[in-house]
Structure formats: C-alpha cells, structure tokens
Amino acid sequence: MRERGNHPNRRGVLKTGAAGVALASLGFPAIAQGKKIKLGYVSPQTGPLAPFAEADNFVIDGIREAVKAGIKIGNGTQPVEIIVKDSQSNPNRAAEVAADLILKDQVDLMLVASTPETTNPVCDQCEVNEVPCVSSVAPWQPWFFARGGKPEVGFKHTYHFFWGLEDVIAVFTNMWGQVATNKSVGGLFPNDGDGNAWGDKQRGFPPVLEKQGYKLTDPGRFQNLNDNFSAQISAFKAANAEIVTGVVIPPDLTTFWNQARQQGFKPKVVSIGKALLFPVVLEGLGDAGHNLSTEVWWTPSHPFKSSLTGASAKELADGYTAATKKQWTQPIGFVHALFEVAVDVMKRSKGAGERASILDAVAKTKIDSVVGPIAWGAGPVKNVAKTPLVGGQWRKGGAFKYDLVITDNKTAPNIPAGGKMEAIG
C-alpha cells in the first residue's frame, strides 16, 4: 500500500481524465514498452503423481533461459512470462488453478502435462473459457473420450500430443513376439481409469490378444495400493501364465513381484505400464528388476533434437543429470516439447492478447521437437497428434543402477533399438 500515491485510484481517474491516464503509465512502465506473453503451465508437482513433474523445474529453467530475450512478434519483441501452478495431483485443484491462470493471470496459452487427472480438468476449463491449450503426457483416449470428445467434431480450443492405447498394445505384443512362450498372459488391471481402459473387453487388450492367439487370464479389477496379490498369483499359476502385463502403480508392482517370487511364480516376460517408468522404482526391486519391460515414450537415444535450443535428446538428459545428479526420466522430453510447441506457436501468432491468432497457430503447428515431429491434422482425431512409442527392458550394469534399453522398435523403426528382448532369468 505504500505505493498508493503513484497509482491512480478510481475517483482520481474519473476526475482528472487524461491526467489520470498519464499517471497510470508512470505507475506501470511495462505497459508503455509493449505487451508481455504469458504462458500458464499446470502439472502435479506434489501428491502421488509428483514423480511426473519432478523434472519440471529443470526443464522450465532451461526454457526461461532460451526465451529470456523475448519472442519477436511483428516489428517488436515481447517478453515471455511462464506462470507455473501445482495441481497437487487433485483434479479439482487442477481446474481451480487453471481458472486462476485464465481469469486472473490472463494467460495467452495454457500448457498442461501428466496424467488425465491433470490434463482433463485443465483442458475443460480452457475449452469453456475459450483459451488455447496444449496438453501432453496422457494416452490420448482417456484425454479425448473421457472429456466427452466426439471424433467427428473434436474440440475447439484444446490440443494434445502423446501416444494411445493402440500403440502400447502393439509395442507389448511385439516385445512378447520376440520371446518363446506358451502365449498364456496374466493381466493386472486395477480399478482406475488406466486399468479399466487397458482391460476393456472391446477397446483394450483382450480383443487384440485374442486375435493374436494369446490366452488372457484377467482375475478382475483390484483397488490401487493393494497389500496382497495372492489371489492373482494363484490364478496366474493355475493358467501357467508365462507373460504378465498390466498398468499398475509402483507400490503394487513391488508387492506383486516380491509376492510372486515368494510363491514361486516365475513368468518369462513382465511388461507393465506406468509403474516401470521411473528408475527409482527399479532400484527398489534390488536385483529383481532385471529385464522387466515397459513402454518407452522418450529416451536420450531418441534421434531428435529441440527446435528451441538445438539440444539433442541426449544433451537434454545429460543436462538434467548434471544439474540434479539424478538419472533422466521420460517426462523431461515431453515437458520440454510442450514448451517447444508453445514458443513456436507464439512466434507464428500475433502475440500477447491475440487468442484467435494463437489458436490458429496451434492448429497449424508443424515442428520437429525433441520427442519427434508434432503436427495436428494427421492424428486419430482432429485434436490429437501422435508421437512414436517403442518398448524397452530395464537392465542392470550400465551407467546407472538400471538402464532402459530399447528392445523393440517395430512401431517406430527410426528410433534405434539397443538390444533384443531377453526372457527373465
């Protein structure tokens, strides 16, 4: 309140008219110099989903450095402000902070990442408030269909890039094809958004597996944070399952895998989504994590580079390890790519405050990002652009305790494979 004298109050402006306006420009010199581009970013920095956002600070610091000179719009340069909000892993909170970014901060472009619990409420807010939004790091089906998207109409203001369920099914079955098994598969599908989608009898794993001659044993949906998998293990044993698949959270994978080994259940292949994304989870398994397999969206060996900084995937990952002393994780590439899209869009738009031109620029995006080419229009639906997905196994004995080795690239041959599938010993 100390600065009150410098700012115009309402009555003063009304009274003195033009003098008041002059005073205002004294109080806010930024207005005189030009507009500022505001990018809003929502991610789950705290709560159960926080591992996805662990690298956010590193990535965003890099982006701020890259755009510190501002973005050239027309004849002038507009500075860029990135406003970061935490969803606390809570969909309601995500919607709330998105509304704040839209209404209070008046962001020009919204960015959101990591799991449908974060992307969906934020995108819904943007759709309602007609703010352009780019989203990522959630399979596209739960992003599109769970928000009531109709394939023939699509959404107007919200765009998404990632892979879909069809890709993960293809990747997993390709990996299994490399190992000689009896084709008996045990499924671990929890009672959550991902589990229900993966285990869905029409759109999930079951129909594809049946077509390819696999026999699926799906004992049923279970609650997350399960302390006891003995029922599933005995069902898998009874079916003589040599492959286990599913999409579970890290603690459940560890409980299942330790209990399976206690009970003498030894499948040849274990391909699990979600739980095996982060290397710390593998480290927690001791030696028992060797050759567990998972879907791979991004690694330092992906042959792509940033359109913004020119850094290769490897340089980006090495930068993270150098800055944090931690092993790279897959979200690094995608969060970086999200800001690549944002900067590219703003460069092609009419700048701050021009939402219509920004939306138009989003729709016409065509860049080669650090996660691969991103362009809307050729995807399964209007608002979805797909990025490549391959499969990999975690192996011991590399630069880190566990290294993710790409073992199947049939779905994206331009991404080099680092080895062949090996059965779990």
Partner 1 sequence: MTGAIDTILQGTLLGGLYALFAAGLSLIFGVMRLVNIAHGDLIVLAAYTAFLAVQLTGIDPLSSLIIVVPVMFVIGYALQRGLLNATLGRGILPPLLVTFGLSIIIQNALLQGFSADSRKLLLGPFETASIPLGPDLAIGWFPLLIFATAVVVIAALQALLHRTRIGRAFRAVSDDPETARLYGVDHRHLFAMAMGVALAVVSFAGVFLAIRTNFDPAIGPARLLFAFEAVIIGGLGSLWGTLAGGVILGIAQTVGAKIDPAWQLLAGHIAFLLVLIFRPRGLFPRAVD
Q: Where are the beta strands (DSSP E) in 137-268?
A: 158-162, 184-188, 215-217, 243-248
Q: Categorise residue 412: left if φ over 0, alpha if ψ from -120 to 50, beta otherwise.
A: beta
What the block records as the tokens of 197 is: 């989608």
Q: Which is nearer to partner 1, 15 or 266 (CB)?
A: 266
Q: Which is nearer to partner 1, 41 or 163 (CB)?
A: 41
Q: Which is nearer to partner 1, 54 or 117 (CB)?
A: 54
Tell me how far, at minimum, the Cβ of 224 lies from partner 1, in Å.
Answer: 8
Query: Mutual orientation of helices 331-348 and 355-363 as an angle, nearest 10°?
Result: 120
Tell me how far, at minimum, the Cβ of 349 lies from partner 1, in Å.
Answer: 34
User: Please, are residues 389 and 296 in contact by the beta-carbon 8 Å criterion?
Assistant: yes
Residue 26 exposed, middle or buried by CB count within 10 Å (0-12, 13-18, 19+): exposed
Rounded to 5 degrees, φ, ψ at 84 are -105, 135
- Pairwise CA distance, residues 313 & 303, whole Å: 7
Q: What is the DSSP letter of 416?
A: P
Q: Which is nearer to partner 1, 118 or 254 (CB)?
A: 254
- Pairwise CA distance, residues 118 & 120, whole Å: 6
Tell me how far, at minimum, the Cβ of 327 lies from partner 1, in Å.
Answer: 11
Tell me how far, at minimum, the Cβ of 285 lies from partner 1, in Å.
Answer: 8
- Strand, helix or coil for residue 41: strand
Tell me how far, at minimum, the Cβ of 90 lies from partner 1, in Å.
Answer: 11
Q: Which is nearer to partner 1, 230 or 414 (CB)?
A: 230
User: Please, are residues 115 and 72 in contact by the beta-carbon 8 Å criterion?
Assistant: no
- Pairwise CA distance, residues 384 & 86, whole Å: 24
Tell me how far, at minimum, the Cβ of 424 lies from partner 1, in Å.
Answer: 13
Q: Which is nearer to partner 1, 175 or 282 (CB)?
A: 282
Tell me how far, at minimum, the Cβ of 137 lies from partner 1, in Å.
Answer: 15
- Beta pairing partners, 81: 38
Cβ-proximal residues to 240 (8 Å cutoff; 6+ apart), any chain: 182, 184
Q: Which is nearer to partner 1, 270 or 281 (CB)?
A: 281
Other CB atoms closer than 10 Å to residue 213's CB: what's the count? 7
Q: Which is nearer to partner 1, 264 or 397 (CB)?
A: 264
Using CB under 8 A as the criterion, which residues of the chain lie in contact with partner 1 when the complex forms? Answer: 45-48, 50-51, 53-54, 89, 191, 219-223, 225-228, 230-232, 234, 237, 250-252, 254-255, 258-259, 261-264, 278, 280-281, 283-286, 288
- Strand, helix or coil for residue 62: helix
Tell me how far, at minimum, the Cβ of 225 lies from partner 1, in Å.
Answer: 5
User: Please, are residues 94 and 84 in contact by the beta-carbon 8 Å criterion?
Assistant: no
What the block records as the tokens of 32 is: 């005189």
Rounded to 5 degrees, φ, ψ at 50 are -55, -30
Q: Which is nearer to partner 1, 89 or 125 (CB)?
A: 89
- Pairwise CA distance, residues 266 & 259, whole Å: 11
Q: Which is nearer to partner 1, 6 or 262 (CB)?
A: 262
For 6, half-sphere exposure in the C-beta direction (CA atoms, 13 angstrom radius) is 8
Tell me how far, at minimum, the Cβ of 89 lies from partner 1, in Å.
Answer: 7
Tell me how far, at minimum, the Cβ of 236 lies from partner 1, in Å.
Answer: 12
